[in-house]
Structure 1
């Protein structure tokens, strides 16, 4: 009788806004409605990266781990990086400066590749930081928009019943009751990581707000390495919390 080994998949995405001029006039007006200064209009345009209807995924990092004989074993660590010069269905494997191999491809191929990874392991346990609030719904909707059938429901369950298949560290830190202040204040990832003694993935001067500019300058390897630092820090935060917070799967 074969034994089941639980697989943990930590993932993170980087996104950018779609070109503002790619929208018709009615949608342009809708997107900047209420912004009566150039600064406010620019702010709304920059926020397009936060919605799957106005943005796209440019990088997805994954780290796959199993615990074998009380030791964590890494099965896979890498990223899918979107290169607009590569057609759907084609892939190019590139070794990043940090030595990690990553796949350069289209956004559609990135999403297809992620679904294949999730179906390669029985009942994988997902680990994210704010994945239920951002990464998971973003991927699900981009998959639908690109007509890629999802092979895994990243949003299955309710806020209080999804824990058997997904650990969202932001929810855990807030005890599922995020507030603007107090004991369950909703801190950002950088702050939470540092609080647990984990090196910030932004230590090299890159953060999510710079991804759009980096992508425009074709700094693809810089984005991929940043995304993978986010993934590693998310995993490190999970390990730091797991044995000391109640009911973390």
Structure 2
């Protein structure tokens, strides 16, 4: 099959254990937290930075367009088992019918880069990917000494659109504001507004991922991540039809 390839991806993250940092870094991370509640808040926020968090799941959906017809080439999730070394892996079937490939974080990144570069000139689709997913993946790769095979952050916000559609940027017309017509809304709100089923309707959202991961509920996280990917693709199609110049 030949045609333009579109790759939709999304990551789920969790904070690294606070006791995995030395005393000076723990003090730095918890500085100013005078109560247990404040400390818990800072610890939960560790999932948002690649220096204090880790990628625990990556969902991907690969679509090709030939003669104005879309075909799904591949869809599945890479899931990190914290007990796995870089030589361990397994493949499980999810209830949704998709595959869940379980491995270490370093192996997840290696597989992602190889998959990304196996398609010529892929067009990436994300929601806030330029603000979160892409830099997180790039920096976790560097920290784990996994060499990226593709620059997810190439270009500037003014010229990256030919190879990456970040739906959040498109919704704000590249002029995000705290209020008004170009206000930034979260994915759940935007999806529902465009008639797309929110991935959170099954009862899982990003705030619960860390707890689910600690409980070993890898399938639930993978299914949630894949619902995110599916909703991102459907939102892309809905927006592209009616908003000019979306690639």
Same topology, TM > 0.5? yes
Corresponding residue SS for 1:121: coil
Runs of 4+ aligned residues of structure 1 deviating over 6 Å after TM superposition are none
TM (normalized to structure 1)?
0.97
For 2:43, the equivalent position in structure 1 comes to 45
TM (normalized to structure 2)?
0.98
Corresponding residue SS for 1:203: helix
- For 2:130 and 2:68, the matched residues in 1 are separated by 29
Work out which of the residue numbers 22, 32, 35 in structure 1 matches 2:33.
35
- For 1:23 and 1:236, the matched residues in 2 are separated by 40
Identify unmatched segments of 5+ residues in structure 1.
Answer: none
- For 2:18 and 2:192, the matched residues in 1 are separated by 35
For 1:155, the equivalent position in structure 2 comes to 153
- For 1:29 and 1:85, the matched residues in 2 are separated by 27
Does the 8 Å CA contact 1:32/1:41 hold for their aligned counterparts?
yes
Alignment of 1:33-112 (within 5 A): 33-112=31-110
Shift of 1:78: 0.2
Alignment of 1:138-217 (within 5 A): 138-217=136-215
Shift of 1:37: 2.1
Aligned residues: 247
Shift of 1:25: 1.2
Segment of structure 1 superposing worse, 107-116 or 31-40: 31-40
- For 1:91 and 1:52, the matched residues in 2 are separated by 23
- For 1:36 and 1:104, the matched residues in 2 are separated by 39
Does the 8 Å CA contact 2:2/2:66 hold for their aligned counterparts?
no
Shift of 1:98: 1.2
Corresponding residue SS for 1:243: helix
Identify unmatched segments of 5+ residues in structure 2.
Answer: none
Does the 8 Å CA contact 2:4/2:66 hold for their aligned counterparts?
no
Shift of 1:97: 1.2
Shift of 1:240: 0.4
Does the 8 Å CA contact 1:90/1:109 hold for their aligned counterparts?
no
